[in-house]
Structure 1
Amino acid sequence: MKLEIRDVTKSFKNKSVVNNFNLEIQKGECVGLIGPNGAGKSTLIKMIVDMIEPEKGEILLNGNKNMEMKKEIGYLPQYPNFFNWMTAKETLMFMGQLSGVPKKALNNQIPLILRKVGLQDAENSKVGTFSGGMKQRLGIAQALLHKPSLIILDEPVSALDPIGRREVLNIIQEIKKETTILLSTHILNDAEEICERFVIIKNGVKLEDSSISQLFKRNNKNRLIIELASNDGVWMNIVKKLPYVKELTVKGNKLEVKVDDIYNHKNLILRNAIEHNVDILKFEIQRDTLEEIFLKMVMR
């Protein structure tokens, strides 16, 4: 399912919440929509799923208006609401019928969906007894029930404890193999783990749209951190004299090496270490973390 958002704008009480927003997501992509609280993420998502209408612009799914393609969208809101007196099976049966899925098909699909999200043993348990992680997994199950081509997840783990968060992230990792996903979050570690591409939004405006590798490449410091098993003064002197090494700082067994071109010269230094039988414990590029990149962008 291809998603296109073209010049979409939305205001509330004369305050712009989403402003001339453009985005294109190709079939099979998993894209993270990241931004601080109040950035406009949830408003944008509600327009995509046709819960609210944009003031201007359009949203297309495979070239069709989104209101014509709602059956192709699976949506998990930030705080899914269920009837506590219903069982997991009854909940999915109720929501599936609201989505127009025939009862016979639901009888076949519900056990499979519950197994996929790890709730097969809770099929007949009342939702009121579920933990936060179990409710989120049930929310994912209802989003998948009608076999959508696009899954939209709005802050799916922000309110969960570490165990519930890990359970839900593992499920998202599995379903991303089968469908297009737009994941809204302000938890950057989650976005980094799951998504291949990031869209950063602030005050309803898109600040960035790139892959994690592109983000890191643009925000590297052309420095390598190398930790050795022992203090190898001979090889350190060799490194210092390499023509592409601009600066070398030694702290015990650790080297900080500044080079001209990190992506070409890191391989040359590693090859040189192997040729001299250097025992390396750690070899990494010194760069800003995703959180540091994010903070620099949103605090400008």
Structure 2
Amino acid sequence: MKLEIRNVTKAFNGKIAVDDFSMDVEAGSCVGLIGPNGAGKSSLIKVISNVMDSDRGEVMLDGQDISKMKSQIGYLPQYPNFYNWMTATETLTFMGRLSGLQKRGLTRTIPGLLAKVGLCGEGDSKIGTFSGGMKQRLGIAQALLHSPALIVMDEPVSALDPIGRREVLNLIGKIKKETTILLSTHILSDAEEICERFAIMKNGRKIEDATITNLLSRNWKNKLCVKITAKDHRWINIVKKLPYVKEVEVIGSEVNIKVANIEENKSRILKNALENEVDIIKFETKSDTLEDIFHKLVVMK
């Protein structure tokens, strides 16, 4: 089922959290909604999940208003809230009954679902004994209870330790083969691992929407990385004034130099450095990483 988000706007106390956001998510895809904290990701996720209404715009699933399609949506909040005195089976039964599922069907479904999320044998364990990763996996089981066509996840691993993160990421990787996933995160490495496409948010607005291949191909070998000694930092001001240099970024002892034509001008940069008696530790072409691109889009602009 295709998800369509059209011109969604949401404000709180006069402050806009989501600003005229539009995007389509095709069936069977895994899309990452990424951006810094406060970008509006969680607010948008809640609107998409019909947890709260937008002020303007609309969200449709399979061509119908999202409010009529709640039975097709699985929602995992950033911090799933469970009763610690309940067992995992009791929790899923309780949540399933609240969603209108029949108890007989839940009795058959829940053991297999717990096994699917890596909680086999934990059905009778009380949630108060669960680790953070186990609770998050139980939250995913809850989201999958009714076999939804779309699963929406809000920062699914941000509060977990490295082991818990790895467990949940592996699980999401398996689930995405079966259903459409939209997840929000500010952890780029996680999004890069499991998502085929990214929508980047800043101040409530969508500022980029592309596949990782497309993002990286636009920035392939676009700059030179020159590592120099501390005494040669005076050369940086010389480089900035060269007519064929478009941008200079200094990170410690590394100088990243963006030039108009890298094949034509890299030898000119090297020649200039040697003429100025610069001690060169490293000289190489460099492609932007996803983190580099994100930094430029979100921080520098």
Task: Please report the TM-score for the alignment, with normalisation by the length of structure 1.
Answer: 0.81
Q: 1:51 and 1:183 mapped to 2: Cα distance?
A: 15
Q: Please report how far the alpha carbon of residue 295 of structure 1 lies from its aligned counterpart in structure 2 after TM superposition.
A: 1.1
Q: Report the counterpart of residue 128 of structure 1 in structure 2.
A: 128
Deviation digits for residues 199-225 of structure 1 (CA, Å, limit 9, x no counterpart): 000111000000000100112234799
Tell me the amino acid that sits aligned with residue 123 of structure 2.
Answer: E
Q: Report the counterpart of residue 234 of structure 2 in structure 1.
A: none
Tell me the amino acid that sits aligned with residue 31 of structure 1.
Answer: V
Distance 1:109 1:287, change over 3 A: same
Tell me the amino acid that sits aligned with residue 256 of structure 1.
Answer: E
Deviation digits for residues 251-282 of structure 1 (CA, Å, limit 9, x no counterpart): 99x8736xxxxxxxxxxxxxxxxxxxxxxxxx
Q: Report the counterpart of residue 47 of structure 1 in structure 2.
A: 47
Q: Report the counterpart of residue 202 of structure 1 in structure 2.
A: 202
Q: 2:8 and 2:201 mapped to 1: Cα distance?
A: 13
Q: Report the counterpart of residue 13 of structure 1 in structure 2.
A: 13
Q: Please report how far the alpha carbon of residue 245 of structure 1 lies from its aligned counterpart in structure 2 after TM superposition.
A: 5.0
Alpha-carbon RMSD = 2.0
Tell me the amino acid that sits aligned with residue 64 of structure 2.
Answer: N
Q: Report the counterpart of residue 273 of structure 2 in structure 1.
A: none
Alignment of 1:89-238 (within 5 A): 89-222=89-222
Q: Report the counterpart of residue 74 of structure 1 in structure 2.
A: 74
Q: 1:77 and 1:295 mapped to 2: Cα distance?
A: 26
Unaligned runs of 5+ in 1: 226-243, 258-285
User: Does the 8 Å contact 2:2/2:27 carry over to 1?
Assistant: yes
Pair 1:256 & 2:281 matched: no
1:210 match: secondary structure: strand
Q: Please report how far the alpha carbon of residue 49 of structure 1 lies from its aligned counterpart in structure 2 after TM superposition.
A: 1.2
Q: 2:160 and 2:56 mapped to 1: Cα distance?
A: 35
1:122 match: secondary structure: coil
Q: Please report how far the alpha carbon of residue 51 of structure 1 lies from its aligned counterpart in structure 2 after TM superposition.
A: 1.4
2:80 match: secondary structure: coil
Aligned residues: 254
- Report percent identity of matched pairs: 63
Distance 1:57 1:256, change over 3 A: same
Unaligned runs of 5+ in 2: 226-261, 271-278
Deviation digits for residues 48-80 of structure 1 (CA, Å, limit 9, x no counterpart): 111111111110000000000001000000000
User: Does the 8 Å contact 2:60/2:66 carry over to 1?
Assistant: yes
Q: 1:172 and 1:46 mapped to 2: Cα distance?
A: 20
Q: 1:223 and 1:188 mapped to 2: Cα distance?
A: 22
Q: 1:59 and 1:256 mapped to 2: Cα distance?
A: 47
Identify the range of structure 1 (66-75 vs 49-58) with the bigger mean alpha-carbon deviation: 49-58
Alignment of 1:21-40 (within 5 A): 21-40=21-40
**Which segments of structure 1 move beyond 6 Å, counting only runs of 4 or more?**
none
2:75 match: secondary structure: strand
Q: 2:284 and 2:190 mapped to 1: Cα distance?
A: 29
Q: 2:111 and 2:219 mapped to 1: Cα distance?
A: 46
Distance 1:89 1:19, change over 3 A: same
Tell me the amino acid that sits aligned with residue 288 of structure 1.
Answer: D
